[in-house]
Structure 1
Amino acid sequence: MHTLRLSDEHLIGLARWATDRMARVERPVLAERVLGVAGHRIQDPRARADVLTAAAEARLGLGHLPRHLTQAYAAELQCADEHHKAGHRKAAAASAAKALILAFHRVAHIDGLTSPLATDPAQFTGPLRRSRVLRALRAPRGRVTASAAPPADRPMRLLLVHSANDNFLPVVLDHYRNHPGVEVRVLDTAADPATAPLAKGLGRMIASGIGIRSAYAGQVEEALRPHLDWADVVFVDWCTAAAAFLTLVDPGTTRVVVRLHSFEVFSYWPHLVDFSRVDDLVFVSEHLRDLAVAALPRLREPDAPATHVLDNAVDLARSPLPKKPDARFTLGLVGLSQVAKDPRWALEVLRVLRRQDKRYRLRLIGDSMEPGVSPALDRYRTAFAAELAPLVASGAVHMTGHTDDIAAELTNVGVILSTSVRESWHLGLVEGAASGAVPVVRDWPFFADRPHGAHSLFPRDWVVSTPAEAAARILAVNESEESWLESGHEASEKAISTWGWGTVAPRFDSLLCARFAEIPAQRRVRTIAE
């Protein structure tokens, strides 16, 4: 299409036609091509950002990944950068917030079976690395004094921080509350009366991060300072709002440790964290560390935090309970509330098995997907429900719903599945293995072709690539009751010895409780004068 002589007005008209088509058509190939040409040639940055953003939002609104998502959010960042260059930093912060919200829309990364960030993290986050505003946001603001070892004449003071999600903290909290050398406090930034009104708001966090002086900065300082002055070590669980909020202020001599689980990499929050104020960044697996380092520019810089891989804290002691008689032919899947769990893969495994042996059944444990979260999730949920209905009607699938006693539920399960497209560690799979169920782990597609993933986290014979391979492993292990029992016993021993709290607790102690000299990877934070 020849467009060299078309004015911006005409190009914008073409782009709007394309956007209208993209909001109504499932496969708008021609419209996407027109948009790509027109959007590229519009000269006015604001107009270009508007038409590209509108088109991207039209596709996201239908639950589809926009072909021009990176181009769209990059165009908005260009507007933010021009505002910043002109000294209009409030406008720059607002525009940058809009770009980040678009870039990390859940339809693009959370509610589908693929993600452009996972496919090519460097390419997808390239505009973030090049942006003037984002460079200002991630510029190290540092701390006036380096973090210091706790005094030796009293217990170490540990502050556990989260933002309305303490799912992975109970075992850690119980351990340190009963530790004679540790005094513990917990701060939920989303519930604490002083922090809750402040620990939200993407735009004002960006504004504060790029140096806009306002009453907000003083309020954050006032709300956090008592906690930071009390604590020797802060452990922030999840690299989300709480981590971004806490690093808005100088932590003083307090050591700051942040743990990143999984979905945070697919969100904008880590891009707001001032990592010059983080001493240690903890990952629950090597493959998540690889992805985070590839996606987050700040982590590749020389003074980045020390990084550690530390398994999730989970008490597996109750898991090995006697199996019920029909467990041998019962597959189990724990967790199906997210598209990433891909429970349709489990249904295909079951169908392959039942072609050879009708005794096989599937037990789905946990809450179902909620309708209305996003069009993409609804599309998957509808397809899953259509496949599930005849299997439930025939008695091949049983749905248990939510349970607070996973160990008891696992007594019904003889084979534990991990069918996800992505996981950081997969608690349900580990709990199932510890219970004596035979593990069958899909080689999580987000990481299957990378050095680390399910294939490096778990024993190689646990991991398969296709439903057919999964069925073949199950049939081979289950050739006799003796071989099934033996495989389950080996899996239980492996899970408890490798990931049980008795093994993992000393590693937490080494990271959180040891004096700095005893932590080989400890990074000394660069002191920056005010």
Structure 2
Amino acid sequence: MLTPGITQERLTSVARWALAHVNRSERPLIAERVLGAVCQRIDDPRVRAALLAEGAEARLTRGYLPRHLPQAFTAQLACADLEHSEGRWAAAGTATTRALLLAYHRVVHLDGPSSPLAEQPARFTAPLRKSRAAKALRKPRGRKGPAAPPPEERPLRLLMVHHGNDNFLRPILAHYAHHAGVELQTLDTASDPVVAPLAKGAGRLVQRAMGGQVGYGAEIERALRPRLDWADVVFVDWCAMAAALFTLVDPMTTRIVVRLHSYEAFSLWPHIVDFSRVDDLIFVSEHVRDLCVEAVPRLKEKGAPRLHVIDNAVELTPFSRAKRPEARFTLGLVGVGQVAKDPRWAVEVLRLLREKDDRYRLKLVGAPLDPAVGPAAARYQRAYQREVAAFGAAGAISETGQTEDVSGALEDIGVILSSSLRESWHLGLVEGAASGAVPVVRDWPFFADKPHGARALFPDDWVVATPQEAAARVLRLTATEDMWLKSGHEAAEHALAAWDWTQVKDHFDRLLLGPHRDVCSAGEDAIRKAAE
């Protein structure tokens, strides 16, 4: 764009002045405005992209959402398109990776009270739909043939894969380890001596997906081919590094199943995974499925995987224990180590309750939030600690820390809270309900105005919109011991009937072992028709 009277050199000089102020100021509102406005008028796409990216990274490093974030990652994609059109595959991959790292930085989606992706998923990811380089990244590489049907003459060979986190696999692993119709192997791509060195860094994966890094691709082929040749079905938990790695290789006749929880939806990984090589994609809730379908173009296109919604696998029976009488006035929050868990909301509920009755307490179970995660998390932690300190020596808040005995910790908890900004399914809340604690679920703000969310997952009377509503529900259902015990018993009955592993395992059996491969897919037909 031409700017009469101002040369490109002068525009660049002004942009660098603004960038310097963005870098060293805590409140660089004017400098950010100047940087964004001037960069719109810089003709060289590489210079424009570099300046905007540096400004955005400066703000992200301080833990703030950059004012011009969409402009910055769109400029990186424009730069990637230019490199791609001129045949510089490595440079195109580098620019595309930088764009994704900007767009999906944790400060943008994970360490704050909101996310532009959750608010408007299609709008936030629109630049990825328009970019030539991004289209090359998600171009289906396909497979030589369809996945073979389950074998009839021998047990099904099942390979369960994760990348350093098998927390949600344990009941599934135990089930298939003792299943007469299954021969089971596992692979941790983060610790396997052959695979782990290849499962590091998104940049190489992006470049390989776009046609570069041929030698790296050959290494992945050699590492994974024996696993794929052995397996009839590969189940990859978490749609992240391991899923991206496996879909860089043609699975031939091996069926690929990937499960996506929540974190991945707010990450770059679904934009790197080649879904043309995924036969089935499992979500743990409808609201996460809805978000991903809007945000990830491949899931609406021809050749997309079958979409399924299956509850998390969890054995709830061990949580059914007798409550101690004092538990009636003890609120509990299981899992507090992320900003997304928003324990400050739980503290506000406690404050409102203690205005009425100072017998109420709050018990926090789990590792505390680590301020070293980043400056945004550190700011949240400081505010949280100030609010906790306001209770002084009253002893109203206790922190248990990380424990392997969650069911034991729940014996003292009579009301289980879900205070989160976002969740896919919230294991801690479900375990608490199964223990007989009265559930109080915040209408998770990331999904509160969507067709599906906390109210679609849990009974409507469990869900509240505000701390005031939460306090009112607690006061009503703990008013007498009989009322509290009755409400907790009803919650436990519902949890066990809806979500215990005995209810969920048949879904996994039908999906992984059965010939029809169609389970819990409500909504897929509607998604397909909308896409058409």
Report the TM-score, using the length of structure 1 for normalisation: 0.96
The SS at the match of 2:198 is coil
Identical-residue share of aligned pairs (%): 59
Q: Is the 8 A contact 2:308 2:519 kept in 1?
A: no
Q: Deviations over 1:178-206 (max 9, x none)?
A: 11111110011111111111122222211
Distance in 2 (alpha carbons) for counterparts of 1:5 and 1:475: 69
Whole-angstrom CA distance in 2 between matches of 1:276 and 1:406: 40
CA distance in 2, matches of 1:184, 1:220: 22
Question: Is 2:437 the partner of 1:437?
Answer: yes
Q: Which residue of 2 aligns with 1:243?
A: 243
Does the CA contact (< 8 Å) of 2:238 and 2:260 recur in 1? yes
Equivalences for residues 133-212 of structure 1 within 5 A: 133-212=133-212
- Please report how far the alpha carbon of residue 4 of structure 1 lies from its aligned counterpart in structure 2 after TM superposition: 4.4
Residues 160 and 234 in structure 2, CA contact (< 8 A), matched pair in contact too: yes
Aligned partners of 1:503 and 1:371: how far apart in 2? 39
> What is the alpha-carbon root mean square deviation over aligned residues?
1.6
Contact 1:23 1:61 in 2 (8 A): no
1:386 maps to 2:425: no
Query: Quick one: distance in 2 between partners of 1:384 and 1:313?
Result: 32
Q: Are the counterparts in 2 of residues 23 and 62 from structure 1 also a CA contact under 8 Å?
A: no
Match of 1:309 in 2: 309
Matched, 1:13 2:13: yes
Rate the CA distance shift 1:186–1:392 in 2: closer, same or farther, 3 A.
farther
Deviations 1:325-359 (A, max 9, x none): 20000000001100000000000000000000000
Match of 1:259 in 2: 259
Equivalent AA in structure 2 for residue 507 of structure 1 = H
Deviations 1:36-65 (A, max 9, x none): 211111111011111111111111121100
The amino acid across from 2:101 in the alignment is I
Match of residue 351 from structure 1? 351
Q: 1:94 deviation in Å?
A: 1.3
Runs of 4+ in 1 over 4 A off after TM superposition: 517-523
Equivalent in the alignment of 2:375:
375
Shift of 1:520: 9.3
SS of the equivalent of 1:159 reads strand
What amino acid maps onto 2:367 in structure 1?
Answer: D
Deviation at 1:32, TM superposition (A): 2.3
In structure 1, the partner of 2:327 is: 327
1:477-492 to structure 2, matched below 5 A, reads: 477-492=477-492
Residue 294 of structure 2 corresponds to 294
SS in 1 for 2:40: helix
Amino acid at match of 2:371: P
Cα distance per residue 1:193-233 (max 9 Å; x no partner):
11111122222211211122621111111100111011111
Aligned residue in 1 for 2:398: 398
Q: Which residue of 1 aligns with 2:80?
A: 80
Paired position in structure 1 for 2:455: 455
- Secondary structure of the 2:307 match is strand
Counterpart position of 1:39:
39
- In structure 1, C-alpha distance between the alignment counterparts of 2:33 and 2:518, rounded to whole Å: 58
Letter in 2 for 1:129: R
Structure 1 residues 40-95: Cα deviation after superposition (integer angstroms, max 9, x where no partner) = 11111011111111111111121100011111011011111101100111111111
Work out whether residues 510 and 517 of structure 2, in 8 Å CA contact, stay in contact via their aligned partners in 1: no
Mean Cα deviation higher: 431-440 or 293-302 = 293-302
Shift of 1:236: 0.3
Q: Which residue of 1 aligns with 2:89?
A: 89
Match of 2:223 in 1: 223
Deviations along 1:296-340, one digit per CA (max 9) or x if unpaired, are: 111111321110000000000111100012000000000110000
**CA drift at 1:370:** 1.2
What letter is aligned with 1:12?
Answer: T
- How much has 1:389 moved relative to structure 2? 2.0
CA deviation after TM superposition for structure 1 residue 8, in Å: 2.1
- In structure 2, distance between residues paired with 1:71 and 1:502: 49
Contact kept, 8 Å, 1:198 with 1:220, in 2: the verdict is yes
Question: In structure 2, how many angstroms separate the alpha carbons of the residues matched to 1:301 and 1:407?
Answer: 44
- 1:128-153 C-alpha deviation (Å, 9 max, x unpaired): 11111110111111000110112201
How far apart are 1:517 and its partner, in Å?
A: 6.6
1:243-298, Cα deviation, whole Å (9 max, x unpaired):
00000000011110000000101111111100000000000000000001111111
Q: Say whether the 8 Å CA contact 2:443–2:454 is kept in structure 1.
A: yes
2:511 corresponds in structure 1 to 511
Unaligned runs of 5+ in 2: 526-532
- Distance in 2 of aligned mates of 1:207 and 1:50: 19
1:519 deviates by 6.0
Contact 1:149 1:516 in 2 (8 A): no
Q: CA–CA distance in 2 between the matches of 1:213 and 1:295? A: 27
Q: Residue 3 of structure 1: CA displacement?
A: 5.5
Give distance in 2, aligned partners of 1:12 and 1:326: 67
Note the C-alpha offset of 1:18: 2.2
- 2:471 aligned with 1:471, yes or no? yes
Residue 13 of structure 1 deviates from its aligned partner by 2.2
Structure 1's unaligned 5+ residue stretches are 524-530
CA contact (8 A) 1:142 1:250 kept: yes
1:274-289 aligned at under 5 Å gives the runs 274-289=274-289
Q: Do the aligned partners of 1:264 and 1:270 also contact (CA within 8 Å) in 2?
A: yes
- Tell me the CA shift for residue 127 of structure 1: 1.1
Contact in 2 for aligned 1:236/1:257 (Cα 8 Å): yes
Query: CA separation in 2, counterparts of 1:392 and 1:286?
Result: 42
Q: Aligned-pair distance for 1:518?
A: 6.6
> Pairwise mapping of residues 267-278 of structure 1 onto structure 2 (< 5 A)?
267-278=267-278
Report if aligned partners of 1:364, 1:400 keep a CA contact under 8 Å in 2: yes
Distance of 2:6 and 2:227 partners within structure 1: 60
Structure 2: distance between partners of 1:472 and 1:141: 55
Structure 2 equivalent of residue 55 of structure 1: 55
Offset at residue 26 of structure 1 (A): 3.4
Partner Cα distance (1:28, 1:3) in 2: 25
Amino acid at match of 2:303: D
Deviation at 1:24, TM superposition (A): 3.4
The equivalent of 2:71 in structure 1 is 71
Instruction: For 2:292 and 2:245, locate their aligned partners in 1 and report how far apart those are by CA, in whole Å.
Output: 19
Q: Is the 8 A contact 2:507 2:520 kept in 1?
A: no
